Structure 1
Amino acid sequence: MNLQDSPVTEGDFLEVVRILADIVTMEGTLDDKRVKLMGEIAHLIGTDSWVWGFAPLLKPGEQPVYLFQNLGGFDEERMSRLLMAVEHTDTGAMTAPLAEALIQTGAHVTRLRKHIVTDQRFESSPAEPYWRAADIGPLILSARPLEGRGNTIIGFYRPVSAPPFTEREARIAHIILTGVAWLHEASTPNPVVHDIPKLPPRCRLILNQLVHGRVRKEIARDLGISLHTVNDYIKQIFRHFDVHSQMQLISRLKNGDGHDVKQLPQAGPQP
């Protein structure tokens, strides 16, 4: 690539190299590496908040389904508002061009909001008030297909009043995210997450809250529904994944076994 023809500067490329080298050599879990990587990109492109998730269903004409694995820059209330915006049916309709680009290219794609949906379409959408309530305006979405398993889905967000992301910032995010193919591949959740699309939308919304450790009273408060209703949804989620607790649910989505405590071998007869 000729730097004279690119919105990315030589200084940007040096930062990209540094970030990729740091991630490759750092110790820690996959969650640690994702959080570190996303924080570095966020700082470099001047973003307010971000998510890294997995999409077992991302097809044009169908409501996308997401499991958010890591988030940054969101308090619990704003997280709930983000999830309500994401689960809105018209959000799914507006993001169809991203899914189409994934299918057409079969490769990692990164798009500014204006490349996914026009400002006029977004501002007239019934989903727009939900995004505004989450204080999200400009965004970058990046998605990577994982053959036969779904897609990683990554979002960078700025407040409604902030200036739009630039082509340069989207390019930087794309370069870094495509440079860690191993992290996308290694961080795919357990295959049981492919059952998530079978859940009703409100259950999916609450599921994402549960996997991030939210308690029932907080979920009820932020979603504006009764604790009784939340409990009913959680019972449905537990039955769907054949678990009996929030800890088992998290373990089942990550490990597939549904057990949060390993069983110790029973002691034999004492002499």
Structure 2
Amino acid sequence: MAADSLRSSQVRVLVRLVNEAHELPEGQGERPRHLLSGMCRILGAEAGACVLECDFKPGGRGGFTAAVLEGWDGAARPALKALQSMGSACNPGIRSLMERPPVPGAVVTALRRELVGDRAWYGAPYVEHYLRPTQLDDSVYSLWWSEVPGVVRGIGLYRGRSECLFDEADRELLHLFHAECGALLGLPEPTEDALGVRLAPRERQTLELLLQGLGDKQIAARLGISRFTVNQYTKTLYRRFGVQSRTALIARLLGSQGRGTGSRARLPAS
């Protein structure tokens, strides 16, 4: 990112926004909502989303958890629901990011037109049938890659069809915001200390493959063990983390209260 492209006026407003957020109470969702709403205002976006995705890779299931939303009510709601039901890859810009090699611990930010050309964008069924009817169009995306395979924290902002395109300065401001203030958005990365669970080697291997979205049969083949044994390891993991399903297990890992944007996500130690 070329810092000299940042607009000083936007940076000053961003600093005020972050200071305001620190004055809000923790744990009630007010900070994330204030921050996302403020970023939409600063960058002239009509809609924005902060999401957590646990299978972000080519061929992944593409489901995500919407943590903070702005501007997706009313006519825009079907576009969000379609993205959730069809999977993130139906958006060609997001699919382009999925196809990039992951960079654990890094924040990657890109304009829509850097990811996909106009022809592919406007020819995509999701854009044509769901996004354009909302009058939303140009977009900019920012991803924080966890060291847990396939797990990302993402921010997407959208402008209206009649608005000018996002530019380099807009991209760099979003990148700065995500890199420095991402932990305030309520999606902290899992850390060993926060989880307080130590795993045996086979339990750890099973957990790593579960987080990659593999099923029992695939995990058994990968580890050279029976599906019954995989099922036993999975039940043990549920007990260790105090959950009753794979979805809850992932939420438990990703919901642990890691602090700071400089820390790296880690699975529990062996």
On whether the aligned pair clears a TM of 0.5, the verdict is yes
2:142 aligns to what? Answer: 142
Unaligned runs of 5+ in 1: 199-240, 244-249, 257-271
Counterpart mapping for 1:154-169 below 5 A:
154-169=155-170
Match status 1:14 vs 2:15: no
Counterpart mapping for 1:106-117 below 5 A:
106-117=105-116
> Hey, what's the Cα distance between the residues in 2 that align with 1:2 and 1:65?
33
Q: Structure 1 residues 31 and 253 mapped into 2: Cα distance closer, same or farther (>3 Å)?
A: farther
Match status 1:62 vs 2:60: yes
Q: Structure 1 residues 114 and 93 mapped into 2: Cα distance closer, same or farther (>3 Å)?
A: closer
Q: Structure 1 residues 93 and 113 mapped into 2: Cα distance closer, same or farther (>3 Å)?
A: closer
Unaligned runs of 5+ in 2: 196-209, 215-242, 254-270
> Hey, what's the Cα distance between the residues in 1 that align with 2:93 and 2:38?
29
Counterpart mapping for 1:170-189 below 5 A:
170-183=171-184, 186-187=187-188
Counterpart mapping for 1:201-212 below 5 A:
none
Partner deviation per Cα, 1:42-84 (whole Å, 9 max, x = no partner): 1111111111111011113434221111211122552232221
| Aligned pair partner of 1:31 in 29, 32, 38 | 29
CA-CA distance at 1:36 after TM superposition: 0.8
The answer to whether the 8 Å contact 2:138/2:166 transfers is yes
Aligned length: 205
The answer to whether the 8 Å contact 2:36/2:69 transfers is no
1:216 aligns to what? Answer: none
> Hey, what's the Cα distance between the residues in 2 that align with 1:76 and 1:138?
19
Which deviates more from structure 2 when the two are superposed, residues 171-180 or residues 72-81? 72-81
TM-score normalised per structure 2:
0.62
1:152 aligns to what? Answer: 153
TM-score normalised per structure 1:
0.62
The answer to whether the 8 Å contact 2:50/2:153 transfers is yes
**AA in 1 matched with 2:72:** F
> Hey, what's the Cα distance between the residues in 2 that align with 1:86 and 1:113?
19
CA-CA distance at 1:151 after TM superposition: 1.1
The answer to whether the 8 Å contact 2:53/2:152 transfers is yes
Which deviates more from structure 2 when the two are superposed, residues 73-82 or residues 136-145? 73-82
> Hey, what's the Cα distance between the residues in 2 that align with 1:10 and 1:159?
24
The answer to whether the 8 Å contact 2:49/2:70 transfers is yes
The answer to whether the 8 Å contact 2:91/2:127 transfers is no
> Hey, what's the Cα distance between the residues in 1 that align with 2:163 and 2:132?
12
Q: Structure 1 residues 118 and 106 mapped into 2: Cα distance closer, same or farther (>3 Å)?
A: farther
1:131 aligns to what? Answer: 131
> Hey, what's the Cα distance between the residues in 2 that align with 1:61 and 1:93?
14
> Hey, what's the Cα distance between the residues in 1 that align with 2:45 and 2:117?
21
**AA in 2 matched with 1:26:** L
> Hey, what's the Cα distance between the residues in 1 that align with 2:56 and 2:14?
29
CA-CA distance at 1:37 after TM superposition: 0.7
> Hey, what's the Cα distance between the residues in 2 that align with 1:166 and 1:119?
15
Partner deviation per Cα, 1:109-140 (whole Å, 9 max, x = no partner): 11111111111111122222222133321111
**AA in 2 matched with 1:167:** E
CA-CA distance at 1:152 after TM superposition: 0.9
CA-CA distance at 1:181 after TM superposition: 4.0
Runs of 4+ in 1 over 6 A off after TM superposition: 250-256
> Hey, what's the Cα distance between the residues in 2 that align with 1:94 and 1:63?
16
2:224 aligns to what? Answer: none
CA-CA distance at 1:102 after TM superposition: 5.9
SS of aligned partner of 2:29: helix
1:231 aligns to what? Answer: none
> Hey, what's the Cα distance between the residues in 2 that align with 1:185 and 1:28?
9
Aligned-residue Cα RMSD (Å) equals: 3.7
> Hey, what's the Cα distance between the residues in 2 that align with 1:29 and 1:102?
34
**AA in 2 matched with 1:53:** V
1:223 aligns to what? Answer: none
2:79 aligns to what? Answer: 81
> Hey, what's the Cα distance between the residues in 2 that align with 1:139 and 1:183?
22
> Hey, what's the Cα distance between the residues in 2 that align with 1:174 and 1:94?
17
